[in-house]
Amino acid sequence: MIRPLATALADLAAALLPARLSHWGEAMRRETAEIEQSGEALRFALGCLWGAAGEALRVHMGEGRMTARRLIGLCAIGATGLGIGYMMIGGAPLGYPLRNLTALAIGFLAVGIVTHLPQTRWLGTGPVVLALGLVLLATTLVGVSHDGATRWVSIGGLGIQPSLILVPVLVIGFARVRDRLSGLGVVAATLALALQPDRAMAGALAAGLAALALVRPERNVLVALSVVMIGFVAAMLQPDVQPAMPYVDQILFTAFYLHPLAGMMVLAGSALLLVPALAGWRRDPGLAAFGGVWLAIILAAAMGNYPTPLVGYGGSAIVGYLLCLAGLSGVLGAADPVARKARRGMGREVLRTNVA
């Protein structure tokens, strides 16, 4: 199984490279195929992926937002693939990588569905962000509890953590349209995360708003940030005794005990998640908020018993990461004037991301 993974990583590295360097990508593929030892081929492919990601970042720093959104799809595929490689090395049950792959497909499908939603005033950014906040609050009130925390829902016997799916999109939506309704959505989410309690996602919400405040220090942003910080402190003051789950929590460290290569794959996958934000946070407040949220989620996974996004077992973060495509594309608020233009090419963009 290591050889197909090395081939897939080399293909992803080639896809990340700009067109003028396509010959590099072909050389990466050939070299990976010619290396006899599977482990050595995987290490070489990882190096290619790292170099290609850096080259893509340098190229895309000066390009438009569509490029950054395409990077989100590619980085989601890359990080999920690296996580599957880690689980294979660690001997995880076969169902774990299969469920992550399924979540990746569901995430792309969800973006496609959201893209084709009808344009009504109820699907403006403000109402959508408010609805997301209320869903999080409903999860707190009627969701599944475990060891004193209530942050899950059960769908077909599978535990889903809505905050990992909805908080990133909610923050991006607020970054896009900072009106009264979206502000109320942020307040509802803050209350929900404080009551659950969920320190990691309360911190992610705060980090996303803080990053937004750096690039858009407006009064309503600073007020929302103040409210969110109060909620974060409230979550931190409550005990969180969730045990660490294998292949889910603390894997940024435990992966190295399995094998140095497994640890490198987890670190590389986590770093990939931040590439789109690095490519355009100065120009796009949504990307700044995106970067703040996912950086906080990664740090929380390193410091406590919280899911490690995309490279660990769990589909909620995979779907949440991909849904950021919809928020950054203006699809989140289908009735907003700026969204109408963005919707025209979004379906083709998602399709190209899937095939790349």
- Of residues 345 and 258, more confidence is placed in 258
- Of residues 356 and 209, more confidence is placed in 209
- Of residues 332 and 96, more confidence is placed in 96
Residue spans of beta strands (DSSP E) within 73-180: 144-146, 149-155, 158-160
Tokens matching residue 138: 């409903």
Least-confidence region, from 8-17, 121-130, 141-150, 310-319 = 8-17
Backbone φ, ψ for residue 318 (5° rounding): -65, -50
pTM of the model: 0.79
Q: What is the pLDDT of residue 118?
A: 72
Residue 346: which pLDDT band, with cuts at 50, 70 and 90?
Answer: very low
Distance separating alpha carbons of residues 330 and 325, to the nearest angstrom: 9
The most distant pair of C-alpha atoms in the chain lies apart, rounded to whole Å, by 60
Closest listed residue to residue 33, CA positions, set 2, 6, 1: 6
Closest listed residue to residue 265, CA positions, set 32, 88, 91: 88
Q: What is the pLDDT of residue 40?
A: 87
Task: Find the mean pLDDT for residues 220-224.
Answer: 96
Is 60 exceeded by the pLDDT of residue 276? yes
Please, what is the average pLDDT of the chain?
84
Q: What is the pLDDT of residue 109?
A: 87
Q: What is the pLDDT of residue 188?
A: 97
Quick one: how far is CA 124 from the chain centroid? 23
H or E element: which one contains 253?
helix 251-258
Q: What percent of the chain has pLDDT over 70?
A: 87
Closest listed residue to residue 313, CA positions, set 149, 136, 88: 88
The CA R_g of the chain, rounded to the nearest whole Å, is: 20
Is 80 exceeded by the pLDDT of residue 193? yes
Closest listed residue to residue 15, CA positions, set 61, 70, 68: 70
Place of tokens 């931190």: 236
Residue 1 CA neighbour count, 13 Å, CB half: 12
The most confident of the ranges 100-114, 215-229, 253-267, 273-287 is 215-229
